[in-house]
Amino acid sequence: MQARLDGISIHYAARGRGRPLLMLHGSPSDHSRAMAHLEPTFQSRGGWRRIYPDLPGHGRTPGSTRIRNMDDYLEVLLEFVDATAGPGPFCLGGISFGAYFAPPSPGGGARGWKGYC
């Protein structure tokens, strides 16, 4: 799937239904690595919509001239959340580089995030 944002199109995969869980992969990597780690946990747990983006410059998401620093990177990620997670709160998880973005993102876009893993 693709989320078309201002100046960048982010490739992602989504699985399941329920409360959104945005899972950010490490670097160098792509969404498939995060999925490989997390999906076995959800085989016996319902109620979660897992969203696995390829972060900008990784996998099938190209880099963008819009991203000049880490604040710009975070801004793109929050727009991605707004475009894909639907209304209401969401949870956020990250592996290595992906985990870097969770602590500085209170408010988490238009809705705010409910949890971090």
Domains of the chain, each with CATH number or no CATH: 2-116 (3.40.50.1820)
| Concatenated DSSP letters of 76-115 | HHHHHHHHHS-SS-EEEEE-GGGGGGSTT-TTTTTT-EEE
Q: Before 20, cis peptide (omega within 30)? A: no
The predicted model scores a pTM of 0.87
User: What are the tens digits of pLDDT across the range 33-76?
Assistant: 999 989 999 988 999 999 999 999 999 999 999 999 988 988 89
Report whether pLDDT(82) > 50.
Answer: yes
Q: What is the mean pLDDT of the chain?
A: 86
- Report the chain's C-alpha Rg in angstroms: 13
| Cα separation values, 10 from 41, 46, 60, 76, Å | 25, 26, 8, 9
Query: Taking the C-alpha atoms of 95, 48, 76 and 70 in order, what is their torsion angle to the nearest 10 degrees?
Result: -20
Report whether pLDDT(92) > 90.
Answer: no
Q: What is the pLDDT of residue 102?
A: 64
